[in-house]
Structure 1
Amino acid sequence: MLDHRVLHSRTGTARRALLLTCGLAALGFVALLSLGLGSRSVPPGTVLQALLGTVHDRDALVITEMRLPRTVVGLVVGAALGLAGALLQGVTRNPLTSPTTLGINAGAGFAVVTAIYTLHLTQPIHYVWFAFAGATAAALFAQALARGAGDLDPVRLALGGTVLQLVLVSWTSALMLFSERTLDEARFWLAGSLAGRDLAVLTPVLPMLGIGASAGLLIMPALNTLALGDDAAHALGVPVARIRVTALVAVVLLAGSAVAVAGPISFIGLAAPHLVRLTVGTDHRWVLPGCLIAGPLLLLAADLAGRLLARPGEIEVGIITAFVGAPLLAVLARRATR
């Protein structure tokens, strides 16, 4: 019997490892497509030569100066959103929760629009610190509402974050109505996009991304115990409050940085954990690493679709994810009610 259980466990581990390997291969394929496809298609051989620096023609410049930074930003932002969504769903035990629930997107949007209105900012790299500060402040305020006089309540967290999001979105819309210039500058960023982002925009947030990812991955085993319920986790010696706070801090760092770089892109943090759980199961020791693959895979695929559907123009990736994510949310909500 023991040998049978050990064999079953090893088989399950090998299967999950194979699935993650296949996910990595799919991510590499989509990243290659992201480099080669767009308003102008470039053959794979030319893409490889451009990356190796053996050609320097117009196509090579398009790849190295525009598509490569865009693809790298998509990989980083997608991984951050996917991991943040998995952490948040794990600590709240709510499959419909995403970073948007904490008011992160709305907080970043309000801060950026306010900065554009008052300081006349014009470049995405100038938005980064304002977006991160707004996302952090909104998330901390939502946590304060959820904490009250006792421990952090996941239900109050979801409700408080949703209310805060609605308020901040209303304030943001009102502010843009006062200034047509602010509306023109902010609407592109608020749509959520990878276009026009170079690698310099990642530099300010890399430390936060590293700290957030490390903190999230360190608490993977504790999230499995937390899934049994707070009472069971306490009985097994898990410091529930500390794990929950650590996870939420990691979510703020990851999602806040992602929104600061690419704008408020929705549904990646919601969809990636569900996709991973469908393939590798509910063990967070596999779900969280899987989301580091599924998040950028979904984001780059959506960005690629936006480029191909409107050639020679493009549709912002935030619009694509919202268009696909809204029906997904309806399906998940219906399953949850059942």
Structure 2
Amino acid sequence: MAIQWFPGHMNKARRKISEAMPEIDLVVEVLDARLPWSSMNPLVDELRGDKTCIKVLNKADLADPDVTQQWVDYFGQQMNTKAMPLVAEDRNQVKKLVALCKQLGAARLERKQSIRIMIMGIPNVGKSTLINALAGRYIAKTGNEPAVTKANQMIDLKNGIVLSDTPGILWPKFENELSGYRLAASGAVKDTAMEYVEVATVALGYLLEHYAPQLAERYKLKETPASPTDALETIAAKRGCLKPGGIADLHKAAELVLHEMRSGKTGRISLESPAVVLRELAEIEARRLEAEALKNGSGSPDKPA
């Protein structure tokens, strides 16, 4: 799925972040715990340089806890990076994030200086909800659709931490097409910019492979469907998503599947794991090398030119 890309917006965001970064002590990147890789923007790691980054895996209550722990371990192996699962609406969990920020910025606190934190993230990962939770009051506008935050703002939490909020930076062009489908399935892409049946079919394919029991329980499936399309047609029949004449209304069924998955009714589901993503990236690189070899006339990357 090709996500609409706004190079002008990205360039503007890059410039503003670059200008502000020298005055920042710590970066907090908010990710969707169900798809940490696909909801991560490489721009964040590129612009933060060697500054420490906390990868906050938000909406952790909707994600598979075992897979979330795999992501915490994965990010924890990276340079100057910490990771923690979070539910932004949970005060106790937010307090743990504040404690971690103060631990990492202890040197500034000892000098009676505020820790300057930049909050970053693509649209609809819960960035504004987290900012409001950190502030303990309504500061940032929230919404259930992308691109609610429009401009930078500085927020003094009065507890030794000053937040710099950035507009929800949009995704770059994806090498992995599946990332686009995952973002659409999670709700990060506006519904008007996606094809429901296409996205739901891809999502169901992943669920059949990794979460078949949860899918069967939610939709009372007596046997595992042979394909994602079969699954969508079966769900349409079971939930009454039908057109005149008893024909399956796949669009209506697709809306149902995606909305129930987003709300957690299908169970705690992650749409990608480190192993899955690394395998996909390896396949993409293999295809790139093969295409490069063919372009250079060698015929195969394994054969000398």
Going by fraction, where is helix more abundant, 1 or 2? 1
Give TM-score scaled by structure 2 length: 0.26
The answer to which structure has the higher strand fraction is 2
Q: Give the TM-score normalised by structure 1.
A: 0.24
* Higher relative contact order (CA closer than 8 Å, sequence separation 6+): 1
